[in-house]
Amino acid sequence: MPRLRTLFVALAALIALGLASAQTVVTIATVNNPDMVVMQELSARFEAENPDVRLNWLVLDEGTLRSRATTDAATGAASFDIVTIGAYETPMWGAIGWLKSLDELAAQYPDAAEGYDFDDLLPAIADGLSYDGELFAVPFYGESSFTMYNKRILDEAGLTMPDQPTWEQIAEIACAVHDPANGITGIALRGKPGWGDNMAPITTVINTFGGQWFDAEGVPQIDTPEWNAAISFYADLVQRCGPAGVTGVSFPEALALMSQGRAAMWVDATVAAGFLANSPAGPDIAHALAPVGPVAKGNQWLWSWNLAIPATTDKTEAAFRFLMWATSKDYIELVAAEKGWAGVPPGTRISTYERAEYLAAAPFAPMVLGAIQAADPLDATANPQIAPGVQFVQIPEFQGIGSDVAQIIAEILAGNVDVATGLQRAQRLAAEAMQDAGYY
């Protein structure tokens, strides 16, 4: 009998080993944003429905993800089968052959694409993920930016948030309610260095103060009165009425402050509205449009986090199956069932904004959709710029330039460098990079 039991155990082990070896391991690099954490959590459903696929996750902060994914694509290292990339990278990577065409994969694997409904993707988002008419990524969530505020805190101070605030009004209200002795920060704003971290909201401030990164020929416009006014304003605001240690604050840190009722307002990504709705401060949160300055455009950014398949992978079919699952209508229904309708990935599908359940659970949804549709990457600055973009400029050099300038801006926000000196340094390094690249 013991020998028979041993034989059964050995046979079971061999069967398990055979099943494991038959599985395709798909490695996914993604960002540590809340929606992606939910995707990883729910992905066990995909594995149960697709037992021949095992998912291997690498979850990173924004800056590290961008660096790792870019290096991997540029060197052809083939470390990842699926990458989470932004609206900035997608069309450029598609143009140079770093990504597989999803139009081609949909034709090659029709069973995986059945029922996906590509026409349901919001045009404002999907258009930014295409090059030469081909789609190279699908959106996991899309966003613009707006103002989120704690109405209870403002009401107690006898203050009212305008539907369309100016940056001066934002600063006035924030500093009026700033009360660190009682644990209240006037405004949560990003200060952590990175072109997609502190420079995302800061670039919208620069736009509304009449500034821009480059002119139409690619000459940097950083050491200018407009940048000086915008950076001086932002630095003064966060130093007087922002969170302590602002250069360590990005999206997750600001979200925590607002969620816990420890910040009176926050100007950032619209995707945060769903997270705040389910937070302890949720009943007190209200919304207004993104602030404007002397220039009333370029205040609402346009962004999406997307799933794409690197050209180097040899796990194409399995990777494509996961993309179709994780960005489908059925996935949105799954999140709604598990997390509530307010928590579904926003800004991707027309049908989401037609669901009565979503509109009831997310009263901010019409404002979010309006901001996404109103954001214009082709007309975000007072004067013509070399390439499209609201909070970024869609040229390959921007990633490096933006990251370097972000470090200098963080030094300014920390009070270690004065604005004029910092902008002179930023102008020099940007000019050298653009000249080396042959723009002028």
- Rounded to whole angstroms, the Cα distance separating 241 from 308 reads 40
Q: For 242-284, where are the alpha helices, taking DSSP H only? A: 251-259, 272-277
pLDDT tens for 358-405 read: 999 999 999 999 999 999 999 999 999 999 999 999 999 999 999 999
Contacts of 200 (CB under 8 A, 6+ apart): 145, 190, 301, 303, 391, 392
pLDDT tens for 168-201 read: 999 999 999 999 999 999 999 999 999 999 999 9
Among 31-35, 204-208, 289-293, 436-440, which is the least confidently predicted range?
31-35
By CB atoms closer than 10 A (0-12, 13-18, 19+), residue 152 is middle
Structure confidence at residue 3 as a pLDDT band (50, 70, 90):
low
- Backbone dihedral region of 160: left (phi > 0), alpha (psi from -120 to 50 degrees) or beta? beta
Above 90 in pLDDT, residue 4?
no
- Rounded to whole angstroms, the Cα distance separating 396 from 387 reads 11
* Nearest Cα to Cα of residue 328 among 307, 310, 311, 313: 307
pLDDT at residue number 61: 87
Q: Which residue has the higher pLDDT, 1 or 292?
A: 292
pLDDT at residue number 16: 47
- Rounded to whole angstroms, the Cα distance separating 100 from 384 reads 32
- Rounded to whole angstroms, the Cα distance separating 439 from 209 reads 25
Q: pTM for the whole thing?
A: 0.90
Structure confidence at residue 17 as a pLDDT band (50, 70, 90):
very low
pLDDT tens for 82-111 read: 999 999 999 999 999 999 999 999 999 999
Distance between the two ends of the chain, CA-based, in angstroms? 84
- Rounded to whole angstroms, the Cα distance separating 149 from 386 reads 35
- Rounded to whole angstroms, the Cα distance separating 161 from 155 reads 10
- Rounded to whole angstroms, the Cα distance separating 195 from 391 reads 9
CA-CA distances (angstroms) from residue 99 to 27, 118, 324, 393, 430? 15, 18, 16, 20, 28
pLDDT tens for 56-80 read: 999 998 889 988 999 999 899 999 9
Structure confidence at residue 239 as a pLDDT band (50, 70, 90):
very high
Domains and CATH numbers, the chain: 2-143+303-360 (3.40.190.10), 145-299+396-436 (3.40.190.10)
